[in-house]
């Protein structure tokens, strides 16, 4: 699968998506600041959420978490934190300037239209929208890759959504996700990642709400092609996702860690060849057989005559017991590093 100029698949560096969502809290300046921070951290994409309040919600929509004293309803929150088409264009252009892929999850047909006008490279389907087939069918018409987040879906619903996309000949990817904020380690569902790969044969990722970098690092050892996680400037910020987010500094650590793990997994080490390469170190750090007292030629060596010391340039320490009972061929002083020529 290809998203913008980035290829996604086995053997290709993991595609790392930094999810801003509504962490900007309606501040356009803060949204742009997130783009700068995400680019500096080394992620591949900056992801937002596109909510057009009147097309998506109503006064009846409750808050998941009652976090916002300035907004009477969830609808008020969507209205306050939304951007105009022109403002979204500025964010898209800023991402391009910073070498980031711009992504956003749409929550209405109108949001899809807005994002299509911005020529967005792929569509991320939020967990709660997988069963929204009218929305998915409309997204498919844009002929761009579709990424599913599976946090609220069982296998049957996920099967239907992926089949719907594939039947239209559109590329698809899927994220294991647990809709718990923050998500404890035992509920991450890392065991589901290989099941998804076998079931769908498409790029698989982890959409992480643990609020740590550990889940992403663990997932990359399982071969995920994509990682998505929420980011905040600091944990003192306002918003419902802060508790399930990493800071932008932690995002940088994650990116560095993922690239480290990828290099480690791609490496191939021959243990015997490695030993030959490190022979000079072995001579420094291993030990050799030495005498503990002055001994004349003809002495039959006993265990109390021998010990071991660094460096490992003489008879190896492992052969000490094999020297017991053998006869010295020459006089030696205490502390002599024995050689094979010194014994008969």
**Quick one: which of 131, 125, 120 has its CA closest to 157?**
131
pLDDT tens digits for range 125-170: 998 899 999 999 999 999 999 999 999 899 999 999 999 999 999 9
Q: Which of 262, 172, 174 is CA-nearest to residue 216? A: 262
The per-residue pLDDT for range 37-71, each reduced to its tens digit, is: 999 999 999 999 999 988 877 777 777 777 777 87
Q: What are φ and ψ of residue 102, in 5° steps?
A: -90, 130
Within its chain, how far is the Cα of 44 from the centroid? Answer: 12
- 273-320 confidence digits (pLDDT tens): 888 888 899 899 999 999 999 999 999 999 999 999 999 999 999 999
Q: pTM of the prediction?
A: 0.87
Q: For residue 74, what pLDDT is reported? A: 81
pLDDT band at 17 (very low <50, low <70, confident <90, very high): very high
Residue with the larger pLDDT of the pair 205 and 268: 205
Using the predicted structure, report yes or no on whether residue 73 has a pLDDT greater than 90: no
The per-residue pLDDT for 184 is 96
Q: What is the pLDDT of residue 289?
A: 97
- 323 three-class SS: helix
pLDDT value of position 333: 96
Q: Which of 51-65, 109-123, 190-204, 330-344 has the lowest mean pLDDT?
A: 51-65
**What b/e readout covers 205-227, taking b as 16+ CB neighbours within 10 angstroms?**
bbbbbbbbbebbbbbbeeebbbb
| 72 or 185, which is more confident | 185
Average pLDDT over residues 72-78: 85
Rounded CA gap, 71 and 73, in Å? 6
Alpha helix positions (H), the chain: 28-41, 53-56, 74-81, 85-97, 109-117, 133-140, 155-167, 192-200, 214-221, 248-266, 271-277, 279-285, 320-323
How many C-beta atoms surround the C-beta of residue 74 within 10 A? 20
How far apart CA 305 and CA 130 sit, in angstroms, is: 78
241, pLDDT greater than 90: no
pLDDT tens digit sequence for 165-221: 999 999 999 999 999 999 999 999 999 999 999 999 999 999 999 999 999 999 999
Domains identified in the chain and CATH numbers: 12-266 (3.20.20.70), 272-342 (3.90.1210.10)
């Amino acid at each position: 699968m290809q998203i913008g100029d980035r290829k996604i698949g086995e053997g290709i560096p993991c595609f790392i998506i930094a999810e801003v969502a509504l962490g900007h809290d309606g501040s356009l300046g803060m949204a742009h600041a997130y783009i700068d921070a995400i680019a500096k951290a080394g992620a591949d994409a900056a992801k937002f959420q596109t909510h057009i309040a009147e097309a998506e919600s109503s006064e009846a929509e409750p808050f998941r978490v009652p976090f916002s004293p300035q907004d009477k309803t969830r609808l008020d929150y969507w209205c306050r934190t939304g951007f105009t088409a022109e403002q979204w264009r500025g964010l898209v252009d800023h991402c391009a300037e910073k070498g980031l892929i711009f992504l956003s999850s749409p929550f209405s047909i109108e949001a899809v239209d807005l994002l299509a006008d911005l020529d967005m490279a792929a569509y991320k389907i939020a967990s709660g929208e997988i069963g929204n087939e009218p929305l998915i069918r409309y997204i498919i018409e844009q002929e761009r890759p579709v990424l599913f987040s599976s946090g609220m879906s069982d296998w049957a619903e996920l099967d239907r959504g992926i089949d719907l996309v594939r039947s239209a000949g559109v590329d698809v990817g899927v994220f294991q996700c647990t809709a718990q904020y923050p998500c404890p380690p035992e509920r991450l569902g890392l065991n589901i990642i290989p099941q998804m790969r076998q079931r769908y044969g498409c790029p698989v990722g982890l959409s992480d709400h643990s609020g740590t970098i550990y889940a992403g690092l663990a997932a990359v050892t399982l071969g995920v092609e994509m990682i998505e996680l929420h980011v905040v400037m600091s944990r003192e910020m306002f918003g419902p996702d802060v508790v399930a987010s990493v800071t932008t500094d932690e995002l940088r650590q994650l990116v560095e860690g993922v690239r480290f793990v990828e290099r480690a997994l791609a490496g191939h080490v021959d243990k015997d060849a490695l030993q030959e390469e490190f022979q000079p170190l072995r001579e420094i750090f291993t030990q050799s057989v030495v005498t503990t007292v002055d001994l004349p030629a003809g002495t039959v060596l006993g265990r109390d005559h021998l010990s071991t010391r660094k460096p490992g340039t003489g008879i190896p320490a492992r052969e000490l017991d094999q020297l017991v009972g053998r006869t010295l061929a020459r006089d030696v002083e205490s502390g002599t590093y024995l050689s094979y020529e010194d014994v008969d």
